[in-house]
Amino acid sequence: MTAPTVEAAINDLMDRAWNLVYELLSERGLLGDVLDVDEYTGIHSWVEGPDRYTILHSRSVAVLFLDTRPVDAIVFHHDLLGADDPKSFFTIPE
């Protein structure tokens, strides 16, 4: 279980982009049987210049958001969270 404020932040971001996240996970072959927002229990967010990057992750996948738009999804691994530049694990469209 996550803290209520973390859950609220995850739910807010996922609610804004539910269809886009679904399509992104499907395109990457990461959808699995179902997309359940309750499976996303981790969030890591930071600002670089004018942009906010946010990573939401479950036990199996991580989704990178640029501001409020999902831009990439990958298989989740713990090295991502300790990285100096976690967005380097993702492909960010130009």
Confidence of residue 2 (pLDDT cuts 50, 70, 90): low
pLDDT for the residue 34: 58
Query: Could you report how far apart the first and last alpha carbons of the chain are, in Å?
Result: 36
Q: What's the pTM?
A: 0.88
pLDDT for the residue 51: 95
pLDDT in tens, 32-49: 765 676 788 889 999 999
Q: Is the dihedral of CA 38, 5, 41, 65 positive or negative?
A: positive
